[in-house]
Structure 1
Amino acid sequence: MKTIPPGSTIGIVGGGQLGRMLGMAAAQLGYRIHVFAPASGPANDVASAFTEASYHQSHRLAAFAEACDVVTYEFENVPVGALALIADKVPVLPGLNALEIAQVRYAEKAFVQDLGGRTAPFGVANDFEELIPVLERIGVPAIIKTIRMGYDGKGQARIDAPGDARQAWHAVKRQPSIVEGFVDFSHEFSILIARGHDGASVTYKPTWNVHRGGILHRAVVPAPAAIAGQAAEAAALAERVADALDYVGVLALEFFATAEGPVFNEMAPRVHNSGHWTIEGAQTSQFENHIRAICGLPLGSSALTAAGVEMENLIGDEVERWPEILAERGAHLHLYGKDEARPGRKMGHVTRLIG
């Protein structure tokens, strides 16, 4: 693929905060962005053009593609069929194979197992009758998750005893689901890798992720020793995944640190919340490296800019802390411009450099 030079237009499918931060990184390198989304969102604030349309409106998608030099996406639940409609008109990166695998939870785990990665024991239940034998094989406690969609703890339920199965099935709205056995872990962490058209890649330091209510609360670098000792194996798996997908852009893989080694949880074929610290904490942010990768530019260094970094998400009305955060020496505040601070909604984040 030829280099897409500054001054070109990057299409972003999805209008959320990840699109906003991608747009800001693109603008720094001299690109324009064109957002395609069903409704106005945070990315619009930094866009030079916006198409408001359903992902199923093929004529609007075609016009959007004609206006862009390359297209990327900022969330993994965008309909693959929508992007397939435009893939012959404009490069769509990362490729659709990554999106197809990441959207189906059991396919994702099987794919990683084939590449030598560890996963939790799992099975598939398309209806309640299939759920019971899966639970008998895997055991309880277990987690049931819808095969498609769902994030930040949504679309899933815990099963502590066989008698909880029916309630859990209704909690996931009787949708085809994956059932996962519990993993005994000490920490959760993620590996972010940026890979270019030529196969060159850079990997960021492993990030310790601390969740609260199923939503990422803090991301910390450097990670504790329990994670650091497993980072090389996890990063090697991330590289195999990226190579197998012929991936272009930033890819995030989430892991559990266990006594047996890193256990793969899930992947996101996009920039990721656990990598927001890279804006101030790395020499090249995940957002800039994603733009560099999809445009065929050399990747930037992922080295740290400080001895340590901590990112804290501002969820719901936590955003009202903005005055005290601005008064805090060394704190870097990012607000997403959302108009309503609902419970569980990511309204912004703050990054603190340490040392």
Structure 2
Amino acid sequence: MTGPMLLPGSTGLNGSGQPTTLGVMGGGQLGRMFVQAAQAMGYFTVVLDPDVISPAGLVSHYHIKTDYLDEQGLTQLLQRCAAVTTEFENVPAPALVTLGAARPTAPSADAVAIAQDRIKEKAHLARSGVPVAPYAVIETAAQLTAVEDALLPGILKTARLGYDGKGQVRCNSRAELTSAWDALK
């Protein structure tokens, strides 16, 4: 296991008796739950999220209101926290590379980069011996035409920025597949 480990009954205090500050990239509802749980255990929290009224930012001790790739914002986060996590899967992996060079960061930038791209994710799982559903990578019109009949009906998914059902279209026929390809651009 890498990074800090939280044990039951932890006080959230560092070696000098001061509260340790935990950072979170992203300020949505999951971030808010993280912040509240960390605070209940005695930790201070800092959120980096561009939304001035982000749910997590509203309850955190500190809220850095800037873009996830803003160098000054990342520096502020590193100055305040002992470790960093992410609130959602689409935090830019390059920001986590920067943070991970100076602080324990979980998940790692490499893991986030894989999870952010469904093509990389499927390939990684398959290489790791995890069974995956049959699929085809469709990046060109020629690949769209070459989709095997056995994959229909199926679901066309964007490779990036899809979550909670977004970026997905059920396709029962080739006509629906072509229409969905056009709609998802």
Which category of TM-score, normalised to the shorter sequence, fits these structures?
0.7 to 0.9
**Structure-2 separation of matches of 1:79 and 1:20:** 19
Partner of 2:81: 68
Decide which structure has greater helix share.
2
**Structure-2 separation of matches of 1:22 and 1:131:** 41
Determine helix, strand or coil for the equivalent of 2:106.
coil
Q: Deviations over 1:242-298 (max 9, x none)?
A: xxxxxxxxxxxxxxxxxxxxxxxxxxxxxxxxxxxxxxxxxxxxxxxxxxxxxxxxx
Equivalence map 1:127-276=2 (5 Å): 127-133=140-146, 135-136=147-148, 138-172=150-184, 174=185
Query: CA distance change for structure 1 residues 82 and 138 in 2, over 3 Å: closer, same or farther?
Result: farther
Correspondence for 1:9 among 18, 21, 31: 21
Q: Deviations over 1:192-219 (max 9, x none)?
A: xxxxxxxxxxxxxxxxxxxxxxxxxxxx
CA contact (8 A) 1:157 1:171 kept: no
CA contact (8 A) 1:104 1:147 kept: yes
Partner of 1:38: 50
**Structure-2 separation of matches of 1:25 and 1:113:** 35
Shift of 1:2: 6.1
Query: CA distance change for structure 1 residues 137 and 58 in 2, over 3 Å: closer, same or farther?
Result: farther
Query: CA distance change for structure 1 residues 2 and 93 in 2, over 3 Å: closer, same or farther?
Result: closer
**Structure-1 separation of matches of 2:103 and 2:150:** 44
**Structure-2 separation of matches of 1:44 and 1:96:** 22
**Structure-2 separation of matches of 1:106 and 1:3:** 32
Determine helix, strand or coil for the equivalent of 1:121.
coil
Equivalent residue letter for 2:118: R
Determine helix, strand or coil for the equivalent of 2:45.
strand
Q: Which runs of 5+ in 2 are unaligned?
A: 7-11, 14-18
CA contact (8 A) 1:122 1:138 kept: no
**TM-score (structure 2 length as normaliser):** 0.86
CA contact (8 A) 1:128 1:166 kept: no
Query: CA distance change for structure 1 residues 124 and 83 in 2, over 3 Å: closer, same or farther?
Result: same
Determine helix, strand or coil for the equivalent of 2:42.
coil
Partner of 2:34: 22
Aligned residues, how many? 172
Q: Deviations over 1:112-137 (max 9, x none)?
A: 2223322110111112221121x226
Shift of 1:11: 0.5
CA contact (8 A) 1:65 1:89 kept: yes
Identity level (%) = 37
User: Over aligned residue pairs, what C-alpha RMSD do you find?
Assistant: 1.7
Decide which structure has greater strand share.
1
Partner of 1:90: 103
**TM-score (structure 1 length as normaliser):** 0.46
CA contact (8 A) 1:125 1:131 kept: yes
**Structure-2 separation of matches of 1:141 and 1:2:** 46
Determine helix, strand or coil for the equivalent of 2:48.
strand
The yes-or-no answer on 1:79 pairing with 2:92 is: yes
